[in-house]
């Protein structure tokens, strides 16, 4: 919400972010790609059975108001599991870091552009139900820098898809 507000008020020209639930009037969206949700465990963990992992491993979650919790509840229901939460952390990055150190498991988006932490994770796809996070660029239609934003958006998309 803070990034959306900054773009809307003209404090920043654009923001690369997950798609907001609704766009304020005057804002536009350019989709870069989609990140599927998957079960994330430490890269050294050899297990692959999602139900087993969620039953045996402490679960790391985001605060109750986080967007990701709604699809996660549906995934848990579909899989008929009720994981034991060991910690609630305030960002996807902090959850991913804790998982990478073997301190639990979490359902996270598989990043479009892998980073140092995600490279240490093992992602196990969740096929049913399938959820994705849409990543893109939020910008103001009336921005005086529209042509630069458009060029940036197209170049970013080329890098991700090649």
Per-residue pLDDT of the chain (162 residues; tens, 9 = 90+): 789 999 999 999 999 999 988 888 999 999 988 999 999 999 999 999 999 999 999 999 998 888 888 899 999 999 999 999 999 999 999 999 999 999 999 999 999 888 899 999 999 999 876 899 999 999 988 888 888 888 888 887 655 544
What pLDDT score was predicted for residue 160? 54
Q: What is the pLDDT of residue 162?
A: 43
Q: Determine the Cα–Cα distance for residues 143 and 65; give it in Å rounded to an integer.
A: 31
% of the chain at pLDDT higher than 90? 64
CA distance 15 to 4: 8
For residue 53, give the nearest of 71, 69, 41, 65 by alpha carbon: 41
Phi, psi values for residue 85, rounded to 5°: -80, 130
Which helix H or strand E contains 150, and what residues bound it? helix 146-161
- At 59, list the tokens: 């679960």
Task: Note the pTM of the prediction, 2 decimals.
Answer: 0.83
Round to whole Å and give the CA distance between 107 and 95. Answer: 9
Label residue 65 left, alpha or beta by phi (over 0 means left) and psi (-120 to 50 means alpha). Answer: alpha
pLDDT of residue 147: 86
Q: Are 42 and 121 in contact (CB under 8 A)?
A: yes
């Amino acid at each position: 919400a803070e990034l959306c507000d900054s773009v809307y008020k003209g404090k920043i020209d654009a923001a690369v972010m997950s798609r907001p639930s609704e766009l304020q009037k005057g804002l536009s969206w350019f989709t870069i790609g989609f990140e599927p949700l998957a079960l994330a465990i430490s890269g050294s963990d050899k297990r692959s059975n999602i139900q087993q992992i969620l039953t045996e491993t402490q679960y790391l979650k985001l605060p109750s108001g986080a967007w990701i919790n709604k699809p996660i509840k549906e995934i848990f229901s579909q899989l008929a599991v009720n994981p034991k939460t060991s910690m609630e952390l305030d960002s996807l990055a902090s959850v991913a870091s804790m998982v990478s150190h073997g301190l639990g498991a979490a359902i996270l988006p598989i990043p479009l552009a892998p980073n140092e932490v995600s490279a240490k994770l093992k992602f196990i796809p969740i096929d049913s139900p399938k959820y994705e996070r849409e990543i893109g660029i939020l910008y103001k239609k009336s921005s005086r820098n529209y042509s630069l934003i458009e060029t940036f958006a197209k170049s970013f998309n080329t890098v991700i898809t090649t």
